[in-house]
Structure 1
Amino acid sequence: MRDLPSLKSLRAFEAAARNGSLTAAADELCIGQGAISHQIRNLELNLGLRVFVRKQHGVELTPEGGLLYASCQRAFDDLEGVVQHIRPRTSDKILRVRVGPFFSMKVIAPRISEFLAANPGVQIHLSHLETITAGTGPADVTIAYCLQPPPGRFTRKLLRERLVPVCGRDLWQGDRQALLSGNRLHYRGLQEWQSWIASSGLALPRSRQDLIFDDQHIILEAVREGQGVALIDRTMVEHELKSGQIRLAHDHFYEPPETYQFVCQEDLLRTKPVTKAFLNWLIAEIEERERQSAEAVQTSGTS
């Protein structure tokens, strides 16, 4: 029988040593900080010595703790390598995607079942979180809204927005000048409305009220409820326009310089085929939405 501390206490110790914090280790292992402290105490009792010195903002390894940490790292790395080698390669069919919630709701969610049906066994994990957690893990793919995509990665432009002003059906009226000069709803700042007005050639006065939001879902809900006029990409709200939930306040559109980009490591397209399949599906999905939106514009222009 091997004379070793428990695996639980060694896992807790390795995570705390790597993060330099009991709190961070608890978050990583999805257990309470008290449980981490308990496992560290058990380890120190088993060894008969201290492995950490508690500091104000974390923990610091003792010399003996440093030796144990180096050994744990080697052992866990070796164990992880063997496990990955012998485990059935289901991970090849899991794609973790970090994406904004509005893009996820309007582009991915409505017909993602069609992609899954065409790719049996695939799992798509969508995360709207900016930070990596134990539950989400690192993203394979990021749908980034940016001016310049990050260097050293594979990038593919998915969508350039065409922002149009929309309002609730009860707010819409024939006097568009008054409507566009009423309450303006903004996403994160005033720049997009300023650019839309400048490119439209309209001589609009200052708005009656400016409301700034950091969530496009809330903006769309505020529009439905008649709280003002907002700029939203037409392809994202074609369903709401067709169903009459919202109305087009003006047909002029503004294209921001930022675009939605598909971003991943270059070799992922080769080593994980689901990545390329998901990219191709997204491209086709967005092209179909843009086609439907263009047809709607043409129909409204001839009616």
Structure 2
Amino acid sequence: MTRHYDLPSLTSLVCFEAAARNLSFKKTAAELNVTPAAVSHQIKALESELGTALFRRQHRGVDLTESGAYLFVALQRGFEGISDAIAAVRPAESTEDVTIQATTAVSAFWLTPQITAFWQDEPDIVVSQIVSDGASAARTDLSIHYAALPDDGSGEILFHDDIVAVGSPRFAATHGAATVDALRGVPLIHVVSEENDWTTWAEWFAHFGHGAPTGRRIAVNNHMIALQMARDGAGAVLGWTGLIGPLLDSWDLTLLVSERMPSPHVFHLRTHPRASAQARIFRDWLVAAQRAP
């Protein structure tokens, strides 16, 4: 029988989404209450059906390939829509304690570790993420934004960092841009998004008194995919130091020049009118954790 939708097994897609979010088959197994071998089997079956690798297996864990990052973003958006529909028909008392929205990059590199640390202090408060690079979902308690603070007092600064030019070590060795001006001529990955006001390469170069870039332009609409492409050596990308610290520490990415541009916006947390008492506890913890010495 022909399937109405051209989809692989939904079990394998759910397993892949969890593995892509955790970047660990062991953590995924714990989340789904299965064995790591079962997770590995589902991922291999999905890769076989799609005819492409979704993960790079490494000694310290796994990383998404470019195809894997692309599928991950699509699944997050699809699951978000399903989650919103379920929330709309489910009685309010049975929904999660706290829902927080963030972009894929913020979720993967910053928010998820924060939630894990929060659960050490408040293990009984359930925190669920809505991972989206679009507009805020109506049912969200909290949301993280890269923008100016709102005038209504609903925003709390999380961090205000620097913007740096980064690439893979292999890209750095191949292109060897020693100055900001020389960097203008190398392949650059541009994040083009109507939903998020990411600082552009043109703005970054202008900050240092240089003209627009002249090298090969690679455009994507998602910062997570842009970072993954940079890790694969496709080009240089702009990175926010508050987000990409783990990628620099692991040498997946390296600074291409020493110059740093202070970010024109802040990463801040907004509290929405529907925020529960538990959501406000998590908000206060998250803000205090960033201000701790």
- Cα deviation, residue 231, structure 1: 0.7
Contact conserved, 1:195 with 1:254, CA < 8 A, in 2?
no
In the alignment, does 2:172 pair up with 1:168?
Answer: no
In the alignment, does 2:111 pair up with 1:123?
Answer: no
Contact conserved, 1:98 with 1:142, CA < 8 A, in 2?
yes
Runs of 5+ in structure 1 lacking a partner?
A: 1-26, 31-79, 292-303
The amino acid across from 2:202 in the alignment is Q
Contact conserved, 1:181 with 1:206, CA < 8 A, in 2?
yes
- Please give the residue correspondences for 1:211-222 in structure 2 after superposition, counting only pairs within 5 Å: 211-222=218-229
TM-score normalised by length of structure 1? 0.56
In the alignment, does 2:238 pair up with 1:235?
Answer: no
How far apart, in 2, do the equivalents of 1:131 and 1:194 lie?
25
Give deviations 1:153-181, integer Å, cap 9, x for gaps.
52212222411000110011444244442
Aligned residues: 200
Contact conserved, 1:96 with 1:140, CA < 8 A, in 2?
yes
Contact conserved, 2:157 with 2:268, CA < 8 A, in 1?
yes
Give 1:223's aligned residue.
230
- Please give the residue correspondences for 1:281-300 in structure 2 after superposition, counting only pairs within 5 Å: 281-287=285-291
- Cα deviation, residue 258, structure 1: 2.7
- Cα deviation, residue 256, structure 1: 3.7
How far apart, in 1, do the equivalents of 2:257 and 2:291 lie?
23
Give 2:26's aligned residue.
none
In the alignment, does 2:197 pair up with 1:195?
Answer: no
How far apart, in 2, do the equivalents of 1:183 and 1:211 lie?
7
* DSSP 3-state at the match of 2:264: coil
How far apart, in 1, do the equivalents of 2:113 and 2:279 lie?
19
How far apart, in 2, do the equivalents of 1:267 and 1:144 lie?
18
The amino acid across from 1:176 in the alignment is A
Give 1:146's aligned residue.
147
How far apart, in 1, do the equivalents of 2:118 and 2:143 lie?
18
Contact conserved, 1:170 with 1:226, CA < 8 A, in 2?
yes
Give 2:189's aligned residue.
185
Q: Which has the larger radius of gyration?
A: 1
In the alignment, does 2:258 pair up with 1:251?
Answer: yes
- Cα deviation, residue 283, structure 1: 2.8
In the alignment, does 2:290 pair up with 1:262?
Answer: no
Q: Output the aligned Cα RMSD.
A: 3.5
The amino acid across from 1:240 in the alignment is L
* DSSP 3-state at the match of 1:276: helix
Give 1:275's aligned residue.
279
- Cα deviation, residue 124, structure 1: 0.5
TM-score normalised by length of structure 2? 0.57
Residue identity over aligned pairs, in percent, reads: 18
- Please give the residue correspondences for 1:70-81 in structure 2 after superposition, counting only pairs within 5 Å: none
* DSSP 3-state at the match of 1:231: strand
The amino acid across from 1:138 in the alignment is R
Give 2:58's aligned residue.
none
Runs of 5+ in structure 2 lacking a partner?
A: 1-83
